[in-house]
């Protein structure tokens, strides 16, 4: 953080149940990213508390936060953020690698997940050999590999054309149906409409928090 302290979020109080599908919306600069960073344990709040699965993670050490990220959270980024020198399977394995899972086991899980997102024919390709949609699917598989409590997605369809975007969103729907907690940031109302709860932020505060009674897809 820069030398000037900016209050990106102020007085936000949220409770998220497991199994919820939440979209966070708002104009740029409203604190969406800060929100996601806090939820993703990449950042610690200056004041206040964040309880994840009943545990206060807001005062944890850096190492413990790393462990929390590696075991309970799955990240999906707008720009995919795959490691360029690693193949599809190796990219998916990364979170397991930092949890010291045996190599064979990790490989097995990674291949299973790659198959799940429809990349069974691209297992040993490097990221630059894949299309944007395929790369994002690798990222989703990577986010799922440690069986996380919460999946955090930062504009996952922002860099994709509408067809690929729709495919990715379908994957999110599936995850939600399987009981995963999904939190995604988006600008797109269509994307937000698929979620079960939409939180709108403005100037670091919650503007609205709407639960949608979802018609089954």
Partner 1 sequence: MSVPSRISANTSKEMLVLYRFFRGLKAARLKRIIRLGMKSLWLHRLRSLLTALGIVFGVCSVIAMLAIGEGASHEAQEQIKNLGSQNIILRSVKPSEERKVSENNRASYILQYGLTYADIKRIKSTIPGVSIVVPARIMREYAWNISRQTDCEIMGTVPWYPEMRNQRVAQGRFFTDREMDEKANVCVISSEMMQKLFPLQQALGSTVRVASEYYRVIGVMEPKSKGPKAEESTDSSKGAAAERMFIPLETAKTRYGEVLRKRRRGSFEAERVQLHEVTVKVASPDEVVNVSLAIKDLMERNHNKKDYDMVVPLELLKRAERTKQIFNIVLGSIAAISLLVGGIGIMNIMLASVTERTREIGIRRALGAKRRDIVTQFLVETIMLSGCGGILGVLLGITIPFLVSYFAGMVTIVTFWSPLIAFSISGLVGVIFGLYPAIRAANMDPVEALRHE
Which residues contact partner 1 by CB under 8 A?
1, 37, 40, 42-43, 61-64, 66-67, 69-71, 75, 77, 81-86, 94-95, 97-100, 102-103, 142, 146
Tokens read off for 197: 């709860």
CA distance 183 to 199: 10
Closest approach of Cβ 98 to partner 1, in Å?
4
Q: Is 15 exposed, middle or buried (0-12, 13-18, 19+ CB in 10 A)?
A: exposed
**69 vs 194, beta carbon nearer partner 1:** 69
Is 150 within 8 Å of 181 (Cβ atoms)? yes
Closest approach of Cβ 103 to partner 1, in Å?
7
Is 128 within 8 Å of 138 (Cβ atoms)? no
Closest approach of Cβ 126 to partner 1, in Å?
10
**67 vs 196, beta carbon nearer partner 1:** 67
**16 vs 60, beta carbon nearer partner 1:** 60
Taking CA atoms, 28 is separated from 33, 76, 82, 186, in Å, by: 9, 19, 25, 11
**37 vs 198, beta carbon nearer partner 1:** 37
Closest approach of Cβ 217 to partner 1, in Å?
30
């Amino acid at each position: 953080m820069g030398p000037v302290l900016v209050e990106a979020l102020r007085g936000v109080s949220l409770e998220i149940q497991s199994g919820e599908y939440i979209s966070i919306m708002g104009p740029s600069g409203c604190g969406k990213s800060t929100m996601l960073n806090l939820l993703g344990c990449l950042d610690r709040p200056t004041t206040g508390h964040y309880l994840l699965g009943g545990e206060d993670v807001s005062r944890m050490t850096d190492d413990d936060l790393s462990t929390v990220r590696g075991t309970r959270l799955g990240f999906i980024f707008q720009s995919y953020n795959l490691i360029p020198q690693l193949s599809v399977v190796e990219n998916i394995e990364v979170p397991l690698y930092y949890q010291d899972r045996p190599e064979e086991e990790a490989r097995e899980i990674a291949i299973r997940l790659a198959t799940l997102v429809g990349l069974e024919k691209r297992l040993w390709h490097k990221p630059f050999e894949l299309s944007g949609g395929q790369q994002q699917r690798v990222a989703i598989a990577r986010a799922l590999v440690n069986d996380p409590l919460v999946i955090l997605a930062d504009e996952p369809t922002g860099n994709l054309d509408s067809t690929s975007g729709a495919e990715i969103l379908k994957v999110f729907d599936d995850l939600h149906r399987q009981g995963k907690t999904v939190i995604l940031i988006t600008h797109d109302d269509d994307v937000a409409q698929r979620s079960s709860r939409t939180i709108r932020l403005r100037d670091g505060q919650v503007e609205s928090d709407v639960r949608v009674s979802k018609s089954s897809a």
